Each structure stands twice: as structure tokens, then as C-alpha cells.
Chain A
């Protein structure tokens, strides 16, 4: 395979196509619009379905309908648009149909701005719609990872019949980097539960409605059992220099990638600092973090928000070690030197006291 210089948004679109996405429904919003524009011509060229919906609300419900036919389907948006999709996401999750949704996060709250942010961590991992469920959430930090995790997103969505969210930020969507695309995969066959007309079989019915508490609880148990499997098998993270680290830095996506530069610079200064970069935000890589928490003196969480993954880190660490936080908000992306200063100060204070 050859490496190409690819823009994140375009790379995700092409990766979805190679994963066999049969329908894309979306609505323009910066900083993910190139993804919609790419799908507009590319899906048409391939004779697959592309539709610009009248709103994100319509887009996610088109995804819901299309997913009910058993096809691989997706939509993409950015924070305010993702907020509008929450109702539909909850229905999709409750109905056990697979779907992939990209959230190219931007600065908030409110209209905020179109700059890179990680302010949707709670929204994507906790509250992607009403009711008791969590979507699978994947967090790429580069264009290559955006491709790889898009492919994974479709596989996980089908495997668990669940909503998978690719949560990146405007920087990853807009940036070009060299990357390799996987070969084109054949389209998947429709599963037996799909709605395609009850020809020679009993009707299939897809719904999230349970009138009685007992049946609704049973449906909830089914979802929770799926989620516990997901927690057991799908935690993913990457590490750098954690073997002998005294201070563990953790961050995902763009913040994690910039933190890597800072951690490398800290190592060059002789500071025993390591990095854990979650690839899955749900399931959060709590097992690995818990193991590392036994070894290190302290943990620093770096995010482009006011401290959201911080909660998951604290839960995983369980009070074993001090956990501190550094974040920038509103579309401000921290710089490597800035993080190095934060790391050095914290290291001197908690990991290697004078």
C-alpha cells in the first residue's frame, strides 16, 4: 500500500467506504463538512446512498431507518449537531441496530466556535441520549488512526449491534498527514433481523418500546450485558515510556498526541515520565490505568476541556495516587512546551520531591 497525504475528514470518509458503508446521511457543520462533501461525490460514484439531510435530527433518524435494513450506515457531525442527534442515538442503541457516528468536536458550549476541542467527552461517553446505555467511543490522534479506528468502528458496531462514535476534534479533521488506506472490503450481507420485507418468514420488528417495567428492565439487562462484554474485551490504549515512569501523563486524541511530545521532551531532561493514551473512551482503559497506578507516584490528565476524562481516571485509579489536571478550553489547543512546563513542575512536586 502507498502512503498518501490525506486530510482527516477525507480519510475517515474513504475508510468508511472501504469498510463497506452503504449509506451516509449528514448535515454541513464545520469542522467536519469536508467529510460530507467527500461522501457526496464518492458515494454517488460507487452507486451507494448519500443524502444531505435537512437537519442533524433528520440525519440520525435516516441512519436509524437505514440501519434497520441491515446495511452499514453512518453520519458525521460536530458538537452542536451531535447534541441534536442524541435522541436518535438513544433509539438506535435501544433497538440493537449498529451505526457509526463521527463527532468532530469543536469549542463549546453553545455556538462556541469551530476550533478543536474535547468538550464533548461527557456527551459521547456518558449521555449520548437518554436512558441507561453507553456508546462505544473511539478517539483517534492522527489521520492514520482515524482510518484504522473508522474500520474498527464498523466491525464493533456489527459485532455488538451497538452505536459506535468516532470522537475526534477539528484539528484531526482538518489536518493532512501521510496515511495508508486499507483495501476495499466487500459489502456485508444483511443480517437475519433486518427489515427487508417479511417474504416467506415471520415479520421482523424493531422497536425500543416496552410498556411494562419488567420487559423494559429485561431490555436494559440485555444492553448492560452487552456493555459488560464491551468493557471486558474492547479496552484499548497506547503507552510510551511507562515501564519506569514515576509520573504518568494521560490524554486522548489531539491532547494525547501533544502530550507525547511533551513527555518525550521531559524524558530528554531525565524526568521519569510516561504516557497512557486511551484509544477507547468507552470502554475506558481502566484495567491498564489501574495497573499503572500501582507503579507510578502520580498522574496528570491533559484534555482540551475543563476536566471530563478526569472523572474516569479518578474512578480507575481509585484514590491510590494523586491525580491532577491540566486543560485548555474553548478551542485553545495546548502547546508541547506549555505541557512540558506543567509536567516538569508537577514532577518536581509529587514524583521526585527535593
Chain B
């Protein structure tokens, strides 16, 4: 059971301090819904900005000094370099403090963290995006990336739902997505609302009604746990294999580098082994979502 341990580790002097955020400036604040705001940031250091690279699906830790740090997906795609966008739902202490940010304010950023969507392996595939509520944020990154590289991918369908019309984010994007001829966009809300011209119904039910073919198709989904549970069931009923379903997880995180012990699911750490997992991978992990 016990191998001889490796030589005592030392600090090699060149390793960067993984806890030290880079300083960025808020360039724009977009009020998405009554409790979601999107923040666009630019790293202050020009060289850092030039060298910054990430892949769709990766995470960032936003620091509001004095309030603390919290984890969000980078929801602008790497194909759009003018800013990094993060969407923040007001829920706890740090997110409430973040909601007070104004353009010009300073913020800390540790990014990129974690793995990414397998956007290269998805080339040539049809995609079905299924986003619920704030779960649309990581979908947006990959969707915009694919729209920017449209020729590399097959048919694209987006199913985006929220409780009410007022709970849908990304108004400008939605307008564009609905207009586009090279993708199909379906919006849904939980209960009828005046003036609503789209679907009414829970996401898994609308998905079943749309009945996308699993043929050469991969489904990408993110949303609240209850929606994910029934969406996975609906996808399996439609004939999607677990390898054809990709999701991205959220957990409470602190370090973001696989040490602090909060986000593990058995021996997998959402911050470094994830946040992106296939349903096949999830099925092999312990049941602790």
C-alpha cells in the first residue's frame, strides 16, 4: 500500500503564486434580469491581456477585495477578445457585493481555471443546447464560439428557458439568435405570460416535444439540478447515449486548483477535472451532485 514517497517537494522559484489575482477594470455592466448582471472586464496589464488565452467552458474566480472571491464561467467566447464577460446571479455575500460594481471599478481575476467543452471533438456534429436560467451562461460561451466558427459545426438548436420572460438573460443575443437562419432558437417559460410569443412549458417537456434526433448529435446542457435531472431523462428517452450528453457543473469553490476540498465528487474535483463532464463520466462518479 505504501510506496516510497517522492523526494520532499520544494518551491522551484519560478512557479507563480496561484492565489494572486490579476487586476482588471470593469468596462461595462449589463442588467440582464432582476437578479442577474453581466460584467465585462479588461485586464489592466497590457502584456497579461495579450497573453491571456482560454477555451470555452473554463472558469474564472472574481475577487472583490474586502468581500471575497467567487467562481463563474467566462461566458464570452475566446473568439471575441475585447473583453471577458461574466454573468453573476445575486445569491450570496460576494455576488451581492459584485452587483454594486460600476464601469471603471477594479476587480481581481484568477483565470482560466478548469477544463473546457470539447469544441474540437464536436466539429462536424449537430448541437442541441439546453440552458435553464443562469445555466445559459456557459451555453452562451460555446454557442457564440460555434457561431463564430459556424462552418465547423452541423445544425445548431438552442432551447433556452426560464421561469418568466423577465428571467431570461442576454436580450440582445436572443434577438440575434431568433433572427439567424443558421440556427434554430426555441425559448420557453414555465407559465403563460401576457405578450409571450414563444413556448410555454418546462424545459424537459419542451425538449421532448421538439424531439431532436440523436443522429450525429451532441446535447449540451446546464441549469438548476432539478431541470438537469429531468432533461437527462428526456434526452435518454430520445435515444441520446450518455457519451452524447455534455453538462457543466457548479460547486462551491475556494482555491480553484484542486486543493481546498470543497468541490470534489469522490476523487474528481470540479475545479480541475471539470467543470465540463459527459453524462457517461458522471455515471461513473459517485452520486454526490
A binds B: no
Q: Taking beta carbons and an 8 Å cutoff, which residues of B are in contact with A?
A: none
